[in-house]
Amino acid sequence: GGGDQIALTVAGLPAAAGPSSVSVQIGGVLATVLEVRPAEDLVMVAVPAVTVATEPEPEPVLGPVTVSVTAGGTTQERDDLLTLHPELRIDEITPDSGSPQGGSTIKIKGVGFTAQSTVRIGGTPADLNDAGPIDGELSVKLPGIVPGRVDVIVTESGRTAVAAGGF
């Protein structure tokens, strides 16, 4: 993860504050300060990849993280501003074609799916066959759709993954 841009409201920024004079840490990792607007109490940052050391590879930190902003010799710290979510991604759809009348089962493999995930195929909601993903795979009942290649969209907690023409 990382790479998303966010805006932080920071009261009391020095009038001359700029990207080089403001420091932001997210989950203990230094973030890139993109822009500072002292008159609007605004700091724009790129969220860094926040990981915990594990073997064989570092794992992303998920959940609430502490955000610290230092400007003008003062540090403000909050742990209720930002929650990191897992990546949401569609890796494979099987089968990737079928009858537009619907009714068959398709499997969507990916990352970040939960029991609250919703699926749309060709713009039409698809019902989950199970209570949620099993081994990173959603099983859905194909709804009736228009003939031709259509998008498969998985939505989870306000995030969206799209497989353009995936079915």
Q: Encode pLDDT of 68-123 as tens digits.
A: 999 999 999 999 988 887 778 899 999 999 999 999 999 999 988 888 899 999 99
Supply the pTM of this predicted model: 0.60
Strand-pair partners of 93: 108
Q: Average the pLDDT over 1-26 and give the result.
A: 88
pLDDT tens column, 146-163: 999 999 999 987 788 999
Cis status of the peptide bond prior to 95, with omega within 30 of 0 = yes
Mean pLDDT, the chain, integer: 90
* Mean of pLDDT values over 121-127: 95
**What strands, in cross-sheet order, belong to the sheet with 22-26?**
29-30, 22-26, 63-71, 74-84
The amino acid at 94: T
The average pLDDT across 123-151 equals 91
